[in-house]
Amino acid sequence: MTVSDPVTGKTRFVVVPASYVFLLREGAAGADTEVLLQLRQSTGYMDGHWAAAAAGHVERGETAEAAARREALEEVGVTDLALTFATAMQRTAHDLPIDERIDFFFTARSWSGEPRIVEPAKCADLRWFPLSALPDPVVPHEAVVLAGLRAGDLPGLTQHGF
């Protein structure tokens, strides 16, 4: 999406911010860390792909952390998340009308409530997967972050689509 700068009249891109929450837990009997993923449906974006259990756009006047907490409540019904910042991702997709994004990724290993599907029209399934055995397909830019979490080498700033 582009807008005209009211001062210069030049066209520029709008950057769209979003927050993501990967709920993590230790696997049974010391197995690999597990992540809760949702199977997207009827959203118009990456339907049929596995994705973060909670994610969405940051609203005007909202911080990325507040958006993460709001999305976790709206999408999986959990509150009181102990959020840890994981990475910020600069992302572009030249084939989309809105093609400049900044994504804020958080992890949480504790929260209140039992994660459940709150929006069944948008989520076909919700499951725990070991980070070493993710389902296919995973939303591509989220797969980059999950790989970094698994390897333990996720940088503070990542890029996708360049």
**Which of the 8 DSSP states describes residue 116?**
-
- pLDDT value at 1 more than 60: no
**Which of the 8 DSSP states describes residue 26?**
P
Sole residue written with tokens 């807008």 = 3
What is the pLDDT confidence band of residue 3, given thresholds at 50, 70 and 90?
low
Please tell me the pTM assigned to this model: 0.90
Residue 58 phi, psi dihedral angles, 5° rounding: -80, 130
**Cα–Cα distance for residue pair 43/58, rounded to 1 Å:** 17
Listed in sequence order, the residues at least 6 apart from 29 whose beta carbon sits closer than 8 Å to its beta carbon are none
Structural domains of the chain, with CATH:
26-160 (3.90.79.10)
What is the pLDDT confidence band of residue 90, given thresholds at 50, 70 and 90?
very high
Query: pLDDT per residue over 34-71, tens digit each?
Result: 999 999 999 999 999 999 999 999 999 999 999 999 99
